[in-house]
Amino acid sequence: MMNKNTLLALGVVSAISFGASFPAFAADDAHSTPQPPRLSWTFAGPFGHFDKAQIQRGFKVYREVCQSCHSMKLVAFRTLGQSGALGFSEGQVRAIAAEYQINDGPNDRGEMFQRPGRPSDYFPLIYPNEQAARATHNGALPVDFSVIAKARTYEVGFPGFLIDIVRQYQENGVDYIHALLTGYAKAPEGFEISQTQFYNKYFPGHRIAMRPPLEDNRVEYTDGTPQTVDQYARDVSAFLMWAAEPHLEARKRIGFQVMIFLIVFAGLAYFTKKKVWADAH
């Protein structure tokens, strides 16, 4: 189909393109952040599902550590007990909701008031507004956690990004969060960093305003899981994946059924087509 001239032209075009992709050619800045290591997540792949014990542990880490700064305002308490979620009973969900104080009102005297949370409520804000949050954190904003696991990623070069389609790899967000939480280090010699910032290998620009939130044995695990920063980071990342994608399990389950149906259907359609065309050639 293609002959020598085409191949030559192909060669020229790809030489230009690959030349351009060579780091030395392009002004380089963001590329100096390493790619977060890829972990094996239970919810990856065609039969992925949440490890309920893991996301319960992650929820515990969230509540005991991250929650003092990060809100999760689009997540409702009731969803904790949904199928494909943390596996809490109705009573447990009600008890968890009741631990939070929710702003409500106005009542019939026209006043706002606080009351214990109900399953239909959402996780409350930590700060009344963005300005208040920034004021407490030297101008930085502790992001809301509702969709954070889908709001972060990292670049995968050629041909990796094509292989990811076939492998169904879409866990970049959680890889990044885990890497960020475990990526604190001493700033390299000569790297200027202010008093209120911390050096992190994976944060773009390496200067993050969040002080390392985790340390070994900070959260107590009752099921014998190791109480290490790495384990906490994995668990809280998995929990954040659930928070961002609460219907992940249903999606993959239905997806498999749809695939089986379509493949069988395609087979039937193929033989129908063959039969129809048999006498036309």
Partner 1 sequence: MSGPSNFKPKSAILQWTERRLPILGLMHSSFVAYPTPRNLNYWWTFGGILSFCLGVQIITGIVLAMHYTPTVAGAFESVEHIMRDVNYGWLIRYVHANGASMFFIAVYIHIFRGLYYGSYKEPREILWILGVIIFLLMMATAFMGYVLPWGQMSFWGATVITNLFSALPGVGPKIVELLWGGYSVDQPTLQRFFSLHYLLPFMIAGVVVLHIWALHEVGQNNPAGIDVKSDKDTVPFTPYATAKDNFAMICFMIFFAWFVFYIPNYLGHADNYIPANPLQTPTHIVPEWYFLPFYAILRAIPSKLGGVMAMFGSIALLAFLPWLDRAKTRSARYRPLFKQFFWVFVIVCIGLGWLGSKPAEGAYVIASRILTAYYFIHFLVILPLLSYYEKPAPVPASIADSVLGNQPLAPARVKGSR
The site map against ligand HEC for 215-254 (x = CB under 6 A) is ---------------------x------------------
Q: Which residue has the CB atom at the shortest distance from ligand HEC?
A: 66
Q: Pick the closest to residue 168 from 248, 274, 103 (CA basis).
A: 248
Q: Where are the alpha helices (DSSP H) in 65-99?
A: 90-98
Residues 122-181 that bind partner 1 (CB under 8 A): 143, 146-147, 150-153, 158, 164-165, 168-170, 172-173
> Hey, how many other C-beta atoms are within 10 angstroms of the C-beta on 19?
11
Rounded CA Rg of the chain: 25
In the block, which residue shows the tokens 């959402």? 122
**Quick one: CA dihedral 70, 74, 77, 82, positive or negative?**
negative
Does residue number 85 form part of the binding site for ligand HEC (CB under 6 A)? Answer: no
Both tokens of residue 94? 């009600």
Query: According to DSSP H, which parts of 207-247 are helical?
Result: 229-244
Only one of the segments 114-122, 138-146, 243-251, 266-274 lies at the binding site for ligand HEC (rule: CB under 6 A); that segment is 138-146
Smallest separation (angstroms) from ligand HEC to the CB of 145: 7
User: CB of 166: closest distance to ligand HEC in angstroms?
Assistant: 28
Considering CB distances under 5 to 8 angstroms, the limit depending on partner class, which of partner 1, ligand HEC, none binds residue 68?
A: ligand HEC
Distance CA 222, CA 53 (A): 11
From 20, 89, 106, 129, residue interacting with partner 1 (rule: CB under 8 A): 20
Is 49 within 8 Å of 216 (Cβ atoms)? no
236 binds, among ligand HEC, partner 1, none (CB under 5 to 8 A by kind): ligand HEC
CB of 104 closer than 8 Å to CB of 73:
no
Taking the least distance from each CB to ligand HEC, the nearer of 93 and 149 is: 149
Binding to ligand HEC (CB under 6 A) within 187-216 occurs at 203, 208-210, 213-214
Please, are residues 112 and 106 in contact by the beta-carbon 8 Å criterion?
yes
Beta partners for 101? 116
3-state class of 116 per DSSP? strand
Amino acid, single-letter form, for residue 20: A
Question: How far apart are CB 126 and ligand HEC at their closest, in Å?
Answer: 9
Angle at CA of residue 14, ends 8 and 18, nearest 5°: 145
Which residues here bind ligand HEC, judged by CB under 6 A?
A: 61, 65-66, 68-70, 137, 140-143, 148, 152, 177, 180-181, 203, 208-210, 213-214, 236
Which residues here bind partner 1, judged by CB under 8 A?
A: 1-3, 5-6, 9-10, 13-14, 16-17, 19-22, 25-27, 30, 46, 74, 76, 79, 143, 146-147, 150-153, 158, 164-165, 168-170, 172-173, 204, 244, 246-247, 250-252, 254-256, 258-259, 262-263, 265-266, 269-270, 272-273, 276-281
